[in-house]
Structure 1
Amino acid sequence: MTESNQKDYVKWFRHSSPYINAHRGKTFVVMLPGEALGHSNFSNIIHDLALLASLGVRLVLVHGARPQIDQRLINDGRPSLFHQRLRITDSDSLSSVLQAIGEARIIMEAALSTGLPNSPMHGSRIEVLSGNFVSAMPHGVLDGVDLQHTGKVRRINVQQLTRSLDAGAIALLSPLGYSATGEVFNLTYADVATQVASALKADKLLAFCDSDGAYDTDEQLIRQLTLAQCKEYFAERGESLGELVHLALESAYLSCLQGVQRAQLINYTTDGALLGELFTRDGQGTMVYSGQYEQLRVATIEDVGGILELISPLEEQGILVRRSRELLETEIDKFHVMEKDGTVIACAALYPFGEVAELACVATHPEYRKGGRASQLLEQLEQRARKGGTSKLFVLTTQTAHWFLEHGFLPGKIDDLPLERQSMYNYKRGSKVFLKDIR
């Protein structure tokens, strides 16, 4: 090392000290696409992640496997079919998908286990833990296309994941999820990373992609984006973004909407991009950040427009029963809303029938789902119902049975409903009945 290089190194190391102290003990969720696993810079990324772990950063690594799955399906003579950027995972291809994801996970585990002398990871002794951290549910039918074994995140096992991090291990998550019935679902790594970051209330989401980040119309790198700016950027340039940049920026945006303070895009093809982003003032990628707040409260007449805007798409899909503005205005005192910067992002209503009450119109804005907001509304409405002398809640639903079962509701019959509500039951709609004792 020349004297000039040594001085530069010492200067950089000293200037990184504040960032080292700031990151120690923090939780970072790292989103690594399958393309990165086969890139020549992959070993450098692993070395830099090991360095973060040695500096006291709590790491959750979520890896993708799309190119590995594509290649496995080719080898097995099966086609790769997609709908709305989601893979259609039928029963015949599921075994190929599982093998490809398993091989990708083994590659990650092997790389994190490296400890040869004279290597950057010598003496690191990293413990890596994988497990059934993710519960999933089927995506179902989209536009008449059944995605079959392709699923979406339903719940993150936060307690189990936190125990792993508290033990000093790196948690390694594959794009797989499991259901209570023992089914396995193929997930997108972006969905897993976003929901894990939200559930853990992570300090950062680090999203690797094949670019330094988002660029403006003059092809200059955008260093920072607020949530509002990021949404506007998607509206203007989202269609022109590459697949990996689109996924990374979308995950950054959604994770910040759901409570993560900062999310950063990092180029997996550039050696040292991770360290440059985290330990220098200007960074090397694009950062999306959140500085907004939310408020949970009883609805007022001024919220009618916001509630209608929120529930109208769900009414169009047949998930919610249609409500006119006039009806909503007369029933507004039955509603609770969650507001963020003046916008209604979630709502729910409570209709009393003596000692029994109906929970209805539970809705969350698509950009804010999976953040626990509906659960918060349910908890508040249960408290209000108990104070009013209600001992049992019931709900009628056509498409959200799993969510209510998860929150303690049990299947019921039409005969279990109050007589007044039985007389209003819509047999053509065929809603299922669920009940919950809240005493």
Structure 2
Amino acid sequence: MNTSFSFVDWFRHSSPYINAHRGRTFVVLVEGEAMAAGRGESLIQDLALLHTLGVKLVVAFGIRHQVHSVLEAEGISPVRHQGRWVADETIMARVERVAAEQRLWLEARLSLGLPNTPLHGIELTTVSGNLVMAKPLGVRDGVDFQRSGEVRRVRSGAVRALLEQHSLVLLPPLGFSSTGEVFDLDAAEVAQQVAVALKADKLILLGESDGLRDDSGRLLRQLSPAEARPLLDDASIGEERARHLGAACEAASHGVARTHLLSWRDADALLGELFTRDGVGTMITQHRYEQLRAAGVEDIGGLLELLDPLEKRGMLVPRSRERLEHEIDDYLVIERDGMVIGCAALHRFDDANVGELACVAVHPDYRSGARGERLLAEIERQARRQGIDRLFALTTHTAHWFLEHGFVPSALDELPPLRRDAYNHARKSKVMSKAL
């Protein structure tokens, strides 16, 4: 029963994301290791669900693991340079064969519609083809890469037309040239270049790692490209971490709104990242996922929802919608992906040249990230800019927090006359003040 209620609660909270993702373009990379480890079936089910919910999907797939296995079984050792192998005719024959086999397997699974299967009743049209044009890597450091190539351009118009026809576009790590040649490509580069060419809303890279971590092992939820690039220094050229992180940074720097680093080992990673507020992996974006900003009238509903539980517990004085609308210019909010998760207000008393720090609140799920401190710092900065030289606050539950942040207990008669006259003696709030 608890599991059922948990699912229903999650489903209710996922509805904004279902609406937000409908009609959006996602490019998803699935590495060959995921297929080899038996994760292909469940990933395909998740991709089919996204398609059903109206997401326009381009799926790029890797085959590096499978090609390595074939070469090893046949006793072939490829020459490697700068993180890539030299795709001579012998190796390229295996690459083409494995790519065709993997594409056919994926197309077959995406066509599965038997009763009692997750794809029952879903008709998916899957299209592949010469949608990525390539050029040879050429000779580098004296090494001729032969049939190893890089993306020259993406036939973005053709891809968009297929997506508009509700097709799922499937892309192998191969590129085609105007001379009729086929080149071996890096699957991460294919995904990145396609995402940029389409101006995709998301690039999702499914690899071994569940994201990026700091020195203490804590998962980094969000980074800008500038913050993420130094982490490339710790990755060896050619390894998955370097390829995925490089692709994510390039995509985010060239117009892709959000790029996500997820682990295919986590069966819930793809849907968990897309349909929960905090996600499960690392997101790289130029846009701030969480921002501190001035409040507007459009935030009234979010403020009421945030403040209501605290007012019911007696921690805050009840504020009506009308009062919030009247005082909205005094408020700051912290917004996280469309949800107000924190707020604070600065009420100025010109006659006494002091300001009241009021209505400091942070959502219970987000109280471990120093957001109260961020709100206080911004209130203090604005107060100084307005020429206010002292802040005061009234509190019944959090006097210790104010003490920890430089406030000291004060007497009631130190309040500005207007605020002193409005003091609610029944609440017996403590008066705290801080010189700026």
Normalized against structure 2, the TM-score is what?
0.64
SS at match of 1:25: coil
Distance 2:13 2:180 in 1: 50
1:253 aligned to which of 249, 256, 271 = 249
Q: CA deviation at 1:66?
A: 0.5
1:222-261 correspondence runs (5 A): 222-235=220-233, 237-239=234-236, 243-261=239-257
Q: Does 1:158 align with 2:156?
A: yes
SS at match of 2:215: coil
CA contact 2:36–2:66 (8 Å) conserved in 1: no
Q: Equivalent pairs: percent with the same residue? A: 45
SS at match of 1:228: helix
Q: Name the structure 2 match of 1:43.
A: 41
Q: Name the structure 2 match of 1:304.
A: none
CA distances 1:99-142 after superposition (whole Å, capped 9, x unpaired): 11111111211221121211111111111000100111000011
Q: CA deviation at 1:212?
A: 0.9
- My pick for the range that moved more, 190-199 or 98-107, is 98-107
Distance 1:80 1:108 in 2: 27
SS at match of 1:15: helix
CA distances 1:287-330 after superposition (whole Å, capped 9, x unpaired): 000139xxxxxxxxxxxxxxxxxxxxxxxxxxxxxxxxxxxxxx
SS at match of 2:235: helix
1:276-355 correspondence runs (5 A): 276-291=272-287
Q: Name the structure 2 match of 1:273.
A: 269
Q: CA deviation at 1:242?
A: 9.4
Q: Does 1:17 align with 2:24?
A: no
2:106 aligned to which of 99, 105, 108 = 108
SS at match of 2:12: helix
Distance 2:212 2:261 in 1: 8
Q: Name the structure 1 match of 2:123.
A: 125
1:381-392 correspondence runs (5 A): none
What is the one-letter code of the residue matched to 2:129?
G
What is the one-letter code of the residue matched to 2:18?
I
Distance 2:267 2:229 in 1: 30
Segments of 5+ residues of structure 2 without an aligned counterpart are 289-436
Q: Name the structure 2 match of 1:98.
A: 96
Q: CA deviation at 1:34?
A: 0.9
CA root-mean-square deviation:
1.5
CA contact 2:148–2:183 (8 Å) conserved in 1: yes
What is the one-letter code of the residue matched to 1:274?
L
Q: Name the structure 2 match of 1:31.
A: 29
Distance 1:242 1:268 in 2: 19
Q: Name the structure 2 match of 1:314.
A: none
Q: Name the structure 2 match of 1:205.
A: 203
Q: Name the structure 2 match of 1:78.
A: 76
Segments of 5+ residues of structure 1 without an aligned counterpart are 293-439
What is the one-letter code of the residue matched to 1:284?
V
SS at match of 1:122: coil
Distance 1:217 1:238 in 2: 14
Q: CA deviation at 1:232?
A: 2.6
CA contact 1:41–1:270 (8 Å) conserved in 2: no
Distance 1:112 1:39 in 2: 18
Q: Name the structure 1 match of 2:138.
A: 140
- Higher alpha-carbon Rg: 2
Q: CA deviation at 1:72?
A: 2.0
Structure 1 residues 242 and 275: CA distance shift in structure 2, 3 A: farther
CA contact 1:43–1:111 (8 Å) conserved in 2: yes
CA contact 2:235–2:241 (8 Å) conserved in 1: no
CA contact 1:48–1:272 (8 Å) conserved in 2: no
SS at match of 1:14: helix
Normalized against structure 1, the TM-score is what?
0.64
SS at match of 2:170: strand
Q: Name the structure 2 match of 1:186.
A: 184
SS at match of 1:256: helix
Distance 2:193 2:75 in 1: 33
CA contact 2:192–2:250 (8 Å) conserved in 1: yes
Distance 1:95 1:77 in 2: 15
Distance 2:23 2:66 in 1: 33
Q: CA deviation at 1:81?
A: 2.4
CA contact 2:209–2:262 (8 Å) conserved in 1: yes
SS at match of 2:100: helix
Q: Name the structure 2 match of 1:262.
A: 258
Distance 2:155 2:96 in 1: 21
CA contact 2:229–2:246 (8 Å) conserved in 1: no
What is the one-letter code of the residue matched to 1:263?
T
Q: CA deviation at 1:43?
A: 1.2
Q: How many residues were matched structurally?
A: 288
CA contact 2:83–2:239 (8 Å) conserved in 1: no
